[in-house]
Amino acid sequence: MNHKTVFNVVGKIILVEALLLSLPAVVSLIYREDCFWAFLTVIALSVLIGSLLTWIPKAKDAVIYAKEGFVIVSLAWISMSLIGALPFFLTGEIPNYIDAFFETVSGFTTTGASILTDVESMSRGLLFWRSETHWVGGMGVLVFVMALIPNLSERSIHVLRAEVPGPTVGKLVPRIKDTAKILYSIYIVLTALEIVLLLCGGMPLFDSVVHAFGTAGTGGFGIKADSIAGYSPYLQWVVTIFMLLFGVNFNLYYLILIRRFRSVFKSEELWVYIGIVVTAVVLVGINIWPLYQNVAEVLRLSAFQVSSILTTTGFSTANFNLWPPFSKAILVVLMMIGACAGSTAGGLKVARVVLMFKQLRNELQRLLHPRAIKTVSFEGKRADTLTLNGVNIYFSVYMILLVLVMLLLSLDSGMSFEADVTAAIACFNNIGPGLAEVGPLGSYAGYSDLSTFVLSLAMLLGRLEIFPLLLFLSPSTWSKK
């Protein structure tokens, strides 16, 4: 383990966080809010810590290998969350630091779960910071840093692999820094386009920016008690469309830019993703029809909620706690599937689900025809054994940890069984709202400090796709061997 290089890079990341904190500080200054001084204090602290870490001289061999990549990613997300929680705590708007840490982790991991019971009473500066954490965490904290900081090693592909969700990760162009810039350029353009369309629908500028941040990061932090329900149907459709767009693999947008349209239309994951959306919207729409009996309203509500849950955004336009059991069951299934690999969404990812079903099909055929040799293909290519084993191992560990989180919550929380189960699923898959007490109109405020910490850890495990954080916690990772 190259400790000097790890701490040097983490120091640069903390300095970037100081820069990020300056935006909500400006917002609070514009609105003449007292939280400005809290932001100023945290910025000064971040600059101090970041500067001390960057002054640590790099080792002669400053190359970032796989081990360093996993540790840098985990340490960066934890340290940014610990520092990012301070403005909430120092202002007293979230007086419990564990709750403030939960809120910040929920922001950076784009989960959108909240302990706040009266979000509308929050200061504008802190509301902006909550949503900004979504936007930065959506594409990835380290991807953002790689796009900004010069002289990072080209071996930083290990950082990208450790942070970007999906069964496989590669470079769009030969230089990893250019890949990071391309990804964030696409991300910024889509975010700006959504802001413009929201403004065209009459949404105020502040509301447009924070909701675009929440949509882009597929996070779902709202600034109103009813989330998006109070806005016009036009604005709800804009958010619906952009939630779906941000759930698409960003590699496909790059292919569109270089005019490789045929490759986009041949994307197997994209077509499965669209198929899941259409099927779920139709099934939920038919099921909730007796509650509304208006075609336009049913289509809008079902499309919005399916898009929000599948892309793990977590916005809501209806209290789906009151929907029939069949619709709620569909939403829980969508929670676990998630959107496409290489998107800003959480969950298992459509690519993994497709690969698991293909492996199941081949195994059933092998039982019928033992001598037949079957291979698994995906996106027009044969899936190698390493990728397939990775998918199987990931799913196994995913289920073990998910069950463990459920058990820990049931021992400590005092909440309903439905709330504990869906809270575990929602946090592990970075969705936000669950059912019962943690439904779209509820919050996570009822959980104890221990349960809140467990759910914070679940959010980090889900966003970093388990292994980086597990390796970070392993003593062998930190050895110099």
Q: Is the pLDDT of residue 169 over 50?
A: no
What is the pTM assigned to this prediction? 0.91
Give the model confidence (pLDDT) of 263-288 as tens digits: 899 999 999 999 999 999 999 999 99
Q: Is the pLDDT of residue 352 over 50?
A: yes
pLDDT confidence band for 147 (50 / 70 / 90)? low
Torsional sign, CA 274, 108, 136, 154: negative
Distance CA 94, CA 84 (A): 12
Percent of the chain with pLDDT over 90: 62
Q: What is the DSSP string of 365-427?
A: HHHH-TT-----EETTEEPPHHHHHHHHHHHHHHHHHHHHHHHHHHHH--S-HHHHHHHHHHH
Give the model confidence (pLDDT) of 283-304 as tens digits: 999 999 999 989 999 999 999 9
Distance of CA 158 to the CA centre of its chain: 19
